[in-house]
Amino acid sequence: PEIMAFQARALLTSKWLADAMKTQSKMRILDTSWYLPKLRRNAKSEFKKKHIPGAAFFDIDQCCDKTSPLDHMLPSEKVFADYVGNLGIEKDTHVVYDANQLGAFSAPRVWWMFRVFGHSAVSVLNGGLRNWELEGKPVTNQYVRPTATDFKASLSRSWIKNYEDILDNMDTKRFQVVDARPEGRFRGLDPEPRDSTDTEPGHIPGSISMPFYSFLSKSGHFLPQEQLQALFAQAGVDLNRPLCVLCGSAVTACHVVLAAHECGHPGVSVYDGGWSEWFTRAAPEHVISDGRGKHL
């Protein structure tokens, strides 16, 4: 029963994971590291040099809808099931993640992907690889390819919003919209990080700024629940009402989902196209900016 109790817990400590690795043969660990192209870091080659023993690599640029012009949009059920099955993950497996950078960057996105495809036994390693190593826990460069399994995925469409949903919501105001990008990009003053696009910074009318890193402590751990609740309250977000989040391409938006989940919110939806899609498709008056904004 103790193991089951942990299955729904979104955040796990390094100590818990280190202990569980010794006793739970079915547990899979995933390194979900991903970096913006301009950082010129290769997450997969870093994984090969160093990862938590037994981990496999989950690549959000591979497990995605490759027919979409937008970055790493959610894949179909079949693509997700095949990709995850090849990592040896089963429906009943307790999946734990590890990401590195600020303590968490891309791990919440993969946590959310599993949940949106019907797999709730998934947790994020709180503090990431950075703190795992600081606490003296083991890493390795050895990799054993997992035995493929038959994974079943079932997509919860209600957790995903598209461009039309956001546009419609500007009139109906059925849900609150939170933007997880850094404040400078939200305000339209700092450039968007992708060199390959003409996307200017700014924000959706009526959206609320909650930069993803505000949920993390300096040590790279998610803040305790009381502090997370205070952040939502300060931002004017009502956790008893429907909530939708976005960022540039729906990676760091999932930090808001995880933080709201920790505060008891039943399920935050994600605008998967994010600012990248909104800027491309929206009318100029729907791009709010202190900078250049959008001109036809």
Residues annotated as catalytic are 247
DSSP characters over 40-96: ---HHHHHHH-B-TTEEE--TTTSS-TTSSSTT----HHHHHHHHHHTT--TT--EE
Work out the angle between the directed axes of helices 253-262 and 225-235 (0-180°, nearest 10): 120
Identify which of 180, 193, 192 has the alpha carbon closest to the alpha carbon of residue 252: 180
Is 268:257 a contact under the CB 8 Å cutoff? yes
81 close to 224: Cβ distance less than 8 angstroms:
no
100 exposure class (CB count in 10 Å sphere: 0-12, 13-18, 19+): buried
Other CB atoms within 10 Å distance of the CB of residue 74: 21
Q: Rounded to a whole number, what is the distance in angstroms from the first to the last CA of the chain?
A: 60
The H-or-E segment that residue 3 falls in is helix 2-7
Strand positions, DSSP E, 126-175: 160-161
For residue 12, what are the contacts with CB-CB under 8 A and spacing of at least 6?
6, 96, 123, 124, 125, 126
